[in-house]
Chain A
């Protein structure tokens, strides 16, 4: 069987995975770069503000052009744009992580319970999943955010995950469906394994790549869902992510005043974030799909 050749030796370690998919590697590097930018925010703030908060109103003269002291200039309120951008990246990433995690947990539970048990339970769960997938969630998000004035970052993440878990659930469920009829699941049943053991020990390990894909997809959906809200000015107050910066740039006419970095830099970083998460998705599929298909014999 030629297909067995495509199966990686697990003893070769995880690094070989990266070598097998440049897309996965680039995606991970992009995300790591963004994390580094986000985490550098305190250092950058210290360097630029010199002990003071460089994003306080009137910390500096307004609309400064990029210079050595302010590499990206300042905005309408005299806030340092570089520091705002670094913090915005961190907030966007946190939103993605929180919403991605919550979505993945919900998605995994829904997918496994429905996909494995099948029948009525699955019908009901699939129904809800599909509804959330087809209903235009953006207006719902707008409505929800109208009620959510003083919310924490975590609450925003939670709110977004309500709309993004179906993506994780759908991705994972379709895989559960193909795996649950595998002979090794039958063998586990005849070995007197319980359902939970089968789900966690037989199915879940084989689905980890899809769980990761589900996470990346939901994280992406949440980050951009929030940005959609921010850009039209309906973002939750107090959450300053990249989308909020774009909104500020648009609403204060930053572009016409020559403060282009306030608009352009967040866009570039969001593009990198989008590309990074998508490359991870595609890379994971590339690496794992052929193997899952070949070794477990579809």
Chain B
């Protein structure tokens, strides 16, 4: 089920998704003139500089946010997730500021907007078995009727991301590989079926093969469950592989956005051109063995 979806299948599925969209369809995430300043005086950093964009669900899309290290991507992710209060501007979900939600609205927001973070090691509390990640999610964010149903759902979700439930449940995080841990995060997404996934460089610590499997799962989630993903990366080959839309960020500003195919074919901004120039000619075999890391561009 996680084989790379070819274009035709994707288009067919998109139509299907629009038809069976879950409740709350129509709610979109809007970033409005986000600014983030860290520190003050001489040491102040303008990490995010007037960033606006919208994440829609109809149709579900993958939107890549691409920029080199330090360009403000993680800060934007944290603002969108309501983990970081912007210096000015706001993130809205369904038209409401995500930092001013009442209890019910927040619960709705959390159910529908979920993260996948970069570091598959730090994401687990070393004190607990990995199962706890699922059980907390079940308790806080789902309506599963009882323990048995929840256990069944957890196992289903693990299988959906090609993990054997027996080989990960009951283990401590340090007993699993980076790839397994990151897949557990995807299983968590599968379990929760949010409308939006904010994935901050989720594959940067995975090897090429594992990374490809991860991207396939994201694509599969979009097709099957209508999940829109904000995919943050500095790896243009991943963006090319995923397709969808792209936003290019440089020094806290979005300098270019559009469909991946179009932007890559005809970049209109110098910075984007610079990024693309650093990517070797797309060779389908090489693409996944060599990392194209724009974090290294000066």
Contact = CB atoms under 8 A, between A and B. Distances in A.
Interface of A: 1, 4, 7, 9-10, 182-184, 186-193, 202, 205-206, 291-292, 295-297
A184 B141 contact: no
Given A183-B117, A206-B125, A295-B174, A190 B83 contact: yes
B83 A291 contact: no
Nearest to A203: B125
A295 B140 contact: no
A202 B117 CA distance: 17
Interface stretch (B40-48, B57-65, B107-115, B217-225): B107-115
Interface string B73-85: 0000010011100
Interface in B167-190: 172-174
A23 B172 CA distance: 27
B253 to A, nearest CB: 25
Contacts of A7: 126, 172, 174
Given A4-B174, A191-B136, A295-B174, A184 B83 contact: no
A295 B121 contact: yes
Contact of A10 (B82, B118, B172): B172
B163 interface: no
B125 to A, nearest CB: 4
B172 A202 contact: no
Q: What 8 pairs between A and B have smallest CB-CB spacing?
A: A295-B126, A183-B122, A297-B122, A297-B121, A205-B127, A192-B110, A7-B174, A184-B125
Given A189-B83, A191-B110, A184 B115 contact: no
B123 A187 contact: yes
Contact of B137 (A186, A191, A202, A205): A191
Contacts of A189: 82-83
Interface centre among B81, B106, B110, B122, by most chain A C-beta atoms within 10 angstroms, is B122
B241 interface: no
Contact of A186 (B115, B124, B128): B115
Given A190-B110, A192-B107, 16 more contacts: A4-B174, A182-B122, A182-B125, A183-B118, A183-B123, A184-B123, A187-B115, A187-B123, A190-B82, A190-B113, A192-B110, A205-B125, A206-B126, A292-B126, A295-B121, A297-B121
Interface of B: 78, 81-83, 106-107, 110, 113-115, 117-119, 121-128, 133, 136-137, 140-141, 172-174
Contacts of A4: 174
B117 to A, nearest CB: 5
A204 B28 CA distance: 36
Contacts, number: 69
Contacts of B110: 190-192
A192 B106 contact: yes
A183 B119 contact: yes
B113 to A, nearest CB: 8
A192 B125 CA distance: 16
Contact of B140 (A192, A291, A292): A192
Contacts of A190: 81-83, 110, 113-115
A184 B174 contact: no
Nearest to A291: B126
B136 to A, nearest CB: 5
Contacts of B125: 182, 184, 202, 205-206, 296
B123 to A, nearest CB: 4
A7 B125 CA distance: 13
A291 B125 CA distance: 12
A202 B123 CA distance: 12
Contacts of A191: 110, 136-137, 140-141
Contacts of A9: 172
Contacts of A192: 106-107, 110, 140-141
B77 to A, nearest CB: 10
Nearest to B121: A297
Contact of B173 (A182, A188, A295): A295
A67 B106 CA distance: 77
Nearest to B132: A201
A295 B123 CA distance: 10
A1 B178 CA distance: 10
A192 B192 CA distance: 13
Nearest to A188: B136
Interface centre among A4, A7, A10, A296, by most chain B C-beta atoms within 10 angstroms, is A296
Nearest to B138: A191
13 contacts: A9-B172, A10-B172, A182-B125, A186-B78, A186-B115, A188-B136, A189-B82, A191-B110, A191-B137, A202-B125, A292-B126, A297-B121, A297-B122
A190 B140 CA distance: 10
